[in-house]
Structure 1
């Protein structure tokens, strides 16, 4: 994918990532920590986690196309490097959501999940969600610096 309606696809797709990854991370953490939220939100959260996981490599591929189109400027190297790592952060987020879905299904069948398992799921969700949100910030910050350094005076 190279362009959408004449604009570089990466420029448009990255906005979805910037919004959906932190949203998904927050929902995964919320579902892990609050059983009432899990009961209501786990399915939309799981769908978002799958969407984010599928959208990430598409966004990275569009970014690589865009970087080649720009002539591979070195100022984008750090942004591209961090962007290529993004999949390593959204996959654990999706796995966390899947584990919460399994806990939800198990609970729905009348098989309570033990406190230790719930605690481990919460720790995993917090770690995965926090890491995914942080990496999203790092990638976006490096991209913004690559685009705007020298354009806007401080």
Structure 2
């Protein structure tokens, strides 16, 4: 499904950096675009594109991680990290779907500008945009915060799995 080794090193250790950067960046872009529709128009296709690249990076990283798990000694901390890693994909799918929806509706919002009164405020279209915007903001916050928290939890468990019992609290004399 994707690379498992890069220059003889486990690809998971490299791919994880893409996830750690792209998922929070896509979440931030999503929340900003939901709160400020003018940013949706400024960013254009960047929001759904960024969310798509983040989405693709998750299964690639997970696949490389599963390969790595089979090539290291059994460890409960590694198992916990792998179990948590499997929970990220639904969050990033939601991030992508909500990102596309915010982008799509943001391009069609009936606002002349960020501060101006909506065009045709008395029409049903403008009245419909208020609940759509509120729903977009709430969904964006839930999906954005949830995906970032999950990335943090997974990364923390991975760091613990890698570094437990691997260092000394006191400096080691190398001479």
Task: Kindly name which structure, 1 or 2, has the bigger radius of gyration based on alpha carbons.
Answer: 2
More helix by share: 1
CA contact (8 A) 1:42 1:97 kept: no
1:59 matched residue in structure 2: 61
> Is 1:145 matched up with 2:147?
no
Contact 2:54–2:92 under 8 Å retained in 1: yes
Runs of 4+ aligned structure 1 residues displaced above 3 Å come to 110-113
Could you tell me which of 44, 47, 50 is aligned with 2:46?
44
1:91 is the counterpart of 2:93: yes
Deviations 1:41-99 (A, max 9, x none): 24111101011111101110100000101133332011000001110110110111011
RMSD: 1.7
Does residue 85 of structure 2 align to residue 77 of structure 1? no
Provide the rounded CA distance (Å) in 1 between the counterparts of 2:56 and 2:13. Answer: 17
Residue 29 of structure 2 corresponds to 27
Please list every run of 5 or more consecutive structure 2 residues that lacks an aligned counterpart in the other structure: 111-118, 120-124, 170-175
Aligned to 2:104: 102
Q: How far apart are 1:153 and its partner, in Å? A: 4.1
Mapped partners of 1:91, 1:78: distance in 2: 22
**Residue 129, structure 1, aligned to residue 149, structure 2:** no
Answer yes or no: is the 8 Å Cα contact 1:78–1:142 preserved in 2. Answer: yes
Cα deviation 1:72-130 (Å, max 9, x = unaligned): 3332011000001110110110111011122023237x865611110110000000000
